[in-house]
Amino acid sequence: MNASEFRRRGKEMVDYVADYLEGIEGRPVYPDVEPGYLRPLIPTAAPQEPEAFEDIINDIEKIIMPGVTHWHSPYFFAYFPTASSYPAMLADMLCGAIGCIGFSWAASPACTELETVMMDWLGKMLQLPEAFLAGKAGEGGGVIQGSASEATLVALLAARTKVIRQLQAQSPELTQAAIMEKLVAYSSDQAHSSVERAGLIGGVKLKAIPSDGKFAMRASALQEALEQDKAAGLIPFFVVATLGTTSCCSFDNLLEVGPISELRVTHLSSKCTGKKEDMWLHIDAAYAGSAFICPEFRHLLNGVEFADSFNFNPHKWLLVNFDCSAMWVKKRTDLTGAFKLDPVYLKHSHQDSGLITDYRHWQIPLGRRFRSLKMWFVFRMYGVKGLQAYIRKGSNQLNEALLQRINSAKKIHLVPCHLRDKIVLRFAVCARTVESAHVQFAWEHIKELAGDVLRVEKE
């Protein structure tokens, strides 16, 4: 394919994508195929001779689409939201075209520098404490990881290295294996399975703390486990608090767990290390975290100041297509200290200047894409207000318009109320004679009128 064919085919592909997304509602959301459906539909080996683009594109509808689960269908309500926006898709095209592997500043300065600035922009949107921002000379900063699982693993491995080095500095006779045997990490019993997996990969015990009646990890339960483990000679070193658990979007009590993790380790360290040493607190807000850009939800992040690292996925709910998992640390040296290796072929003249970031030291793989382009396009084309409106997905005006329609239609009657700054439509079951059928009727009627209101708003 030469440049002129690329221009033509590229435009066709953009049309195909736009048609796909515009018509996605008409496709069955879940594919009707059996395991192994695809193999008989394509040759058993790659073609020896080149094929035409036309033939490939024709096979998309015949072979691929029948086996696609349409995550962006409005009928898809499984798992969690995954981001999709046109600006992010266009940025991804450009990322593919530039095709750099930005493992170090020198490997592509724009790739590194835009990422640092975008992570600061996003950190400011969330009102993260200053300590997490890179700024011009901060000790912290943000990095784009591929997934929340990766971020948890990176945090756990960095915390593990840190505690091992500290203990060995005090007791050089201790081997890494002897220390690792005693290390123990904690999360709530509601934490995502990726947290347990990080423990598995990191070769440390991970204990699930029983959550309370609201599915939240509380200090008392964590404290109890810490006491027991210390008494058994174990070394607590890492806690994961979840803000927005996968099963039910519960929030661990960060304001309790944050200070407790510090206190406990102070106590532990007097026994084990002889000096104050905090447990590493990592926050996993993978899918709920995007909501913190709205001031009315920001209080759910209170206590983040106790954390060493914080992560959420713009690729879930902030319109930046997969993959884009935003991770911040208060001390970048905690990561670089754990993961830094400098083979001669990766060295460059600026690396020790203190002015640049080499992101390869902040992550597990070496290679990395120019993912911050997606953030840049999305943040600029939506603006913070547009992103907040997307999270809120509704307004007082819409509620008012709906109420007006409901009461004008006169089939049912409702009155509103104000809950702080929100207009809420109250649905009270009032009459002695109300039966389920009446409520069902009202619900169908409300849904129909809400659909009308949304259609008018769209136009």
According to the 3-state scheme, what is the secondary structure of the chain? CCHHHHHHHHHHHHHHHHHHHHCHHHCCCCCCCCCCCCHHHCCCCCCCCCCCHHHHHHHHHHHHHHHCCCCCCCCCCCCCCCCCCHHHHHHHHHHHHHCCCCCCCCCCHHHHHHHHHHHHHHHHHCCCCHHHCCCCCCCCEEEEECCHHHHHHHHHHHHHHHHHHHHHHHCCCCCHHHHHHHEEEEEECCCCHHHHHHHHHHCCEEEEECCCCCCCCCHHHHHHHHHHHHHCCCEEEEEEEEECCCCCCCECCHHHHHHHHHHHHHHHHHHHCCCCCCCEEEEECCCCHHHHHCCCCHHHHCCHHHCCEEEECHHHHCCCCCCCEEEEECCHHHHHHHHCCCCHHHCCCCCCCCCCCCHHHHCCCCCCCCCHHHHHHHHHHHHHHHHHHHHHCCCHHHHHHHHHHHHHHCCCCCEEEEECCEEEEECCCCCCCCCHHHHHHHHHHHHHHHHHHHHHHHC
Among residues 104, 108, 112, 149, which is the contact residue for ligand PLP, using CB under 6 A? Answer: 149
Stretch that binds ligand PLP, among 8-16, 171-179, 280-288, 380-388 (CB under 6 A): 280-288
Among residues 70, 192, 264, 369, which is the contact residue for ligand PLP, using CB under 6 A? Answer: 192
* Closer of 194 and 309 to ligand PLP (Cβ): 194
* Closer of 242 and 290 to ligand PLP (Cβ): 242
Interface mask (CB under 6 A) for ligand PLP, residues 211-250, using x and -?
-------------------------------x-xxx----
State the nearest-atom distance from the C-beta of 286 to ligand PLP, in Å: 3
Stretch that binds ligand PLP, among 142-150, 222-230, 250-258, 385-393 (CB under 6 A): 142-150
284 lies in the site for ligand PLP, by CB under 6 A: yes
State the nearest-atom distance from the C-beta of 311 to ligand PLP, in Å: 8
* Closer of 148 and 307 to ligand PLP (Cβ): 148
* Closer of 147 and 161 to ligand PLP (Cβ): 147
325 lies in the site for ligand PLP, by CB under 6 A: yes
Among residues 16, 76, 80, 121, which is the contact residue for ligand PLP, using CB under 6 A? Answer: 80
290 lies in the site for ligand PLP, by CB under 6 A: no
* Closer of 237 and 251 to ligand PLP (Cβ): 251
Among residues 116, 188, 194, 321, which is the contact residue for ligand PLP, using CB under 6 A? Answer: 194
Stretch that binds ligand PLP, among 33-41, 173-181, 214-222, 279-287 (CB under 6 A): 279-287
Among residues 108, 309, 313, 372, which is the contact residue for ligand PLP, using CB under 6 A? Answer: 313
282 lies in the site for ligand PLP, by CB under 6 A: no
309 lies in the site for ligand PLP, by CB under 6 A: no
Residue ranges in contact with ligand PLP by CB under 6 A:
80, 147-149, 192, 194, 242, 244-246, 284, 286-287, 313, 325
